[in-house]
Amino acid sequence: MYDAIVVGARVAGSPLAMHLARRGYRVLAVDRATFPSDTVSTHYIHQNGLARLRAWGLLDELLGTEPAAIRQAHFGYRGLQLSGWAEPVDGIDTAYAPRRTVLDALLVDAARRAGAEVIEGFTVAGLVFSEGRVVGIRGQERDRPMREFRAPIVVGADGCRSMVAAQAGAEAYKVVPATGVNYYAYYSGLDGDLHHRVGLHETWCGAWPTHDGLTVAAVICGRSRFKEFRRDVPGNYQAVWDEIHPELGAQMRDQGRRESDFVAMPHADNYYRQPWGPGWALVGDAAYHKDPYPGFGITDAFIHGEILAERLDQALSGERPFDDALAEYHKLRDEMSSENYEFTTTLSAFGELSPRLRGIFGAIRKSPEWTTRLFGLFAGGVGHDEIFSPEAVRRLYEETGTPHDRRVHPAGSA
Ligand SMILES: Cc1cc2nc3c(=O)[nH]c(=O)nc-3n(C[C@H](O)[C@H](O)[C@H](O)COP(=O)(O)OP(=O)(O)OC[C@H]3O[C@@H](n4cnc5c(N)ncnc54)[C@H](O)[C@@H]3O)c2cc1C
């Protein structure tokens, strides 16, 4: 009998197992993958995600693997372009995009060092129920007999296609259909900044450095262009770069070298799932998924996993009932993420910006301070209200000498 079982041991599962094991609980984490291993991701971690790693005592270990430091960003949306960087978030002034082969293995090790039992290569076939509650899991390692493990709480950290969510009957809500298909590859010989640009024709391109002198360079094309795109992936991929970001497109052709195959991945829909029920909970992509366009997935998995661990500690220690603790996790998760969710689903459609957003971004472009603030929003150090509230927009327009268009911002508000 364990205190908690975690299904999935990557960026959501391993930190959760680590937090609970550090608090003295008997934790089992299982994953059908073995580590180190890669998974589909372009693995950019924002400063507030890195701050969590530092708080857990893991950032120095990650930096010891020498991921490239990122300190300059270039953001573009349909012709509107901004360059700059965020103020430090909790003292973190640099971003990193460590390979998942490195990051996930480091997190699995940290969970084990904390005392969690981790079984790799173990596929969970199903949940075990008793009187309407989840009481455990059944599964097996390849060629080994089926085994059953029990615990008062089973957490699904098993990604978008979560088996735990499906079997527990977790309802999805606020679903926004996915818009894009992602193609990425690793290049040598490119510059070391973060590039992030939406073009005019339902396309996006982005690149940032990772380990070993390589840059992960990605293109997203709208689903309507998917069939046409996949007829000639290398040609269409290069054409998107040449069209949206000709300077980096030229670097790729003239001095860069593609060092990997292309990874192709249609994005999953955006959704929230009911993240708990009798004997079960969800975290990471299993619980909440949004388009990877702004790169919030890993950071959110870290932050929400920490909140869940605190609430599970309260429940497992008898301090408060499970239902009470997990309902609070649900509420906090939704409150903390709702503005980023709306921002993500709006921008990742790659469509025309609303006049309001176009006005705001246009004004921000005139001011280095406001540009820094906008990058701070991505980095997790600046709240949406500091840029988008009526008061903030009024200040933005005043400070940048932008005429206030009352059709866009009625009654002088935003
Ligand atoms: C193309 C693309 C680019 C992205 N780029 C970024 C980025 O730059 N930055 C960022 O922050 N996020 C990015 N993301 C999102 C990010 O990768 C995810 O948010 C993150 O991986 C979610 O982590 P997780 O631990 O919840 O799930 P996952 O990483 O999906 O891990 C789930 C684990 O559960 C295991 N599992 C599943 N089912 C079972 C089972 N039945 N039994 C046992 N084990 C099981 C799997 O083997 C897997 O290891 C990107 C996503 C995509 C698709």
- Is any atom of ligand 1 closer than 6 Å to the C-beta of 123? yes
Q: How confident is the model at residue 406 (pLDDT cuts 50, 70, 90)?
A: low
Residue 15 alpha carbon to ligand 1 centre in Å: 14
Residue 96's Cα: distance from chain center in Å? 13
Q: What is the mean pLDDT of residues 56-78?
A: 98
DSSP 3-state of 178: coil
- Is any atom of ligand 1 closer than 6 Å to the C-beta of 3? no
Residue 161 has pLDDT above 80, yes or no: yes
Q: How confident is the model at residue 180 (pLDDT cuts 50, 70, 90)?
A: very high
Residue 168 alpha carbon to ligand 1 centre in Å: 20
Q: What is the mean pLDDT of residues 222-250?
A: 94
Q: How confident is the model at residue 12 (pLDDT cuts 50, 70, 90)?
A: very high
Say if 61 falls within a structural domain.
Answer: no
Predicted local distance difference test score (pLDDT) of residue 107 = 99
Predicted local distance difference test score (pLDDT) of residue 226 = 85
Residue 139 alpha carbon to ligand 1 centre in Å: 20
Say if 64 falls within a structural domain.
Answer: no
Say if 60 falls within a structural domain.
Answer: no
Beta strands in 163-242 (DSSP E): 172-176, 180-188, 194-198, 203-209, 214-222
Say whether both 275 and 235 belong to one domain: no
Residue 5 has pLDDT above 60, yes or no: yes
Please give the Cα distance from 253 to 120 (Å, whole number). 40
Residue 365 alpha carbon to ligand 1 centre in Å: 34
Q: What is the mean pLDDT of residues 282-306?
A: 98
205: tokens are 């391109």
Predicted local distance difference test score (pLDDT) of residue 216 = 98
Say whether both 282 and 155 belong to one domain: yes
Q: How confident is the model at residue 218 (pLDDT cuts 50, 70, 90)?
A: very high
Q: What is the mean pLDDT of residues 239-266?
A: 96
Residue 181 alpha carbon to ligand 1 centre in Å: 16
Predicted local distance difference test score (pLDDT) of residue 344 = 96
Say whether both 38 and 125 belong to one domain: yes
Give the ligand 1 atom nearest the CA of 13.
Answer: 25
Give the up-direction half-sphere exposure of residue 137: CA atoms within 13 A in the CB hemisphere.
Answer: 24
Which residue type is seen at 93?
D
Say whether both 135 and 32 belong to one domain: yes
The two beta strands, 276-277 and 122-130, are: unpaired
Say whether both 8 and 140 belong to one domain: yes
Q: Closest residue (by CA) to atom 44 of ligand 1?
A: 31
Predicted local distance difference test score (pLDDT) of residue 411 = 47
Q: Residue 368's domain spans which residues?
A: 355-412
Say whether both 247 and 171 belong to one domain: no
Q: How confident is the model at residue 412 (pLDDT cuts 50, 70, 90)?
A: very low
CA separation (Å) from 105 to 13, 126, 215? 12, 25, 20
Residue 407 has pLDDT above 70, yes or no: no
% pLDDT > 70, the chain: 98
Q: How confident is the model at residue 413 (pLDDT cuts 50, 70, 90)?
A: very low
Query: What does R_g of the chain's alpha carbons equal in angstroms?
Result: 22
% pLDDT > 90, the chain: 94
Domains held by the chain: number: 3
Say whether both 151 and 240 belong to one domain: no
- Is any atom of ligand 1 closer than 6 Å to the C-beta of 408? no
Residue 110 has pLDDT above 50, yes or no: yes
Q: How confident is the model at residue 404 (pLDDT cuts 50, 70, 90)?
A: confident
102: tokens are 């490195």
Q: What is the mean pLDDT of residues 174-179?
A: 96
Closest to 340 measured CA to CA, from 390, 311, 299, 369:
299
Closest to 109 measured CA to CA, from 68, 57, 156, 66:
57
- Is any atom of ligand 1 closer than 6 Å to the C-beta of 199? no
Mutate to test the pocket of ligand 1, among 10, 107, 262 (most ligand atoms within 8 A of CB): 10
Residue 184 alpha carbon to ligand 1 centre in Å: 16
Q: How confident is the model at residue 408 (pLDDT cuts 50, 70, 90)?
A: low
Alpha helices in 317-414 (DSSP H): 322-347, 355-364, 368-379, 385-388, 390-399
- Is any atom of ligand 1 closer than 6 Å to the C-beta of 159? yes
Q: How confident is the model at residue 414 (pLDDT cuts 50, 70, 90)?
A: very low
Predicted local distance difference test score (pLDDT) of residue 409 = 62
Say whether both 208 and 141 belong to one domain: no
Say whether both 17 and 150 belong to one domain: yes
Name which residue leads in pLDDT, 225 or 140.
140
Residue 152 alpha carbon to ligand 1 centre in Å: 25
DSSP 3-state of 272: strand
- Is any atom of ligand 1 closer than 6 Å to the C-beta of 118? no
Give the ligand 1 atom nearest the CA of 208.
Answer: 8
Domain boundary among 266, 295, 326: 266
Residue 358 alpha carbon to ligand 1 centre in Å: 33
Say if 234 falls within a structural domain.
Answer: yes
Mutate to test the pocket of ligand 1, among 14, 18, 32 (most ligand atoms within 8 A of CB): 32
Which range has the worst mean pLDDT, 74-88, 118-132, 398-412?
Answer: 398-412
Degrees (nearest 5) of the Cα angle 70, 158, 341? 55
Residue 117 has pLDDT above 60, yes or no: yes
Q: What is the mean pLDDT of residues 159-170?
A: 98
Say whether both 192 and 136 belong to one domain: no
Q: What is the pLDDT of residues 299-352, one digit of tens each?
A: 999 999 999 999 999 999 999 999 999 999 999 999 999 999 999 999 999 999
The CATH number of the domain holding residue 298 is 3.50.50.60
Say if 383 falls within a structural domain.
Answer: yes
Residue 410 has pLDDT above 90, yes or no: no
Residue 209 alpha carbon to ligand 1 centre in Å: 20
- Is any atom of ligand 1 closer than 6 Å to the C-beta of 284? yes
Residue 282 alpha carbon to ligand 1 centre in Å: 13
Say whether both 241 and 150 belong to one domain: no
> Phi and psi for 253 in degrees, rounded to 5?
-75, -45
Mutate to test the pocket of ligand 1, among 298, 308, 344 (most ligand atoms within 8 A of CB): 298
Which residue type is seen at 74?
H
Report DSSP letters for 38-91, one per residue. Answer: --S----B-HHHHHHHHHTT-HHHHHTT-PPPB--EEEEETTEEEEE-PPPBTT
Question: Count H helices, E strands: the chain?
Answer: 14, 20
Say if 407 falls within a structural domain.
Answer: yes
Which residue type is seen at 241?
W
Give the up-direction half-sphere exposure of residue 382: CA atoms within 13 A in the CB hemisphere.
Answer: 22
The CATH number of the domain holding residue 219 is 3.30.9.100
Say whether both 22 and 151 belong to one domain: yes
Largest CA distance in the chain: 71
Say if 67 falls within a structural domain.
Answer: no
Say if 85 falls within a structural domain.
Answer: no
Q: What is the mean pLDDT of residues 381-387?
A: 98
Q: Closest residue (by CA) to atom 27 of ligand 1?
A: 159
Domain boundary among 342, 375, 401: 342
Q: Closest residue (by CA) to atom 51 of ligand 1?
A: 41
Domain boundary among 240, 266, 292: 266
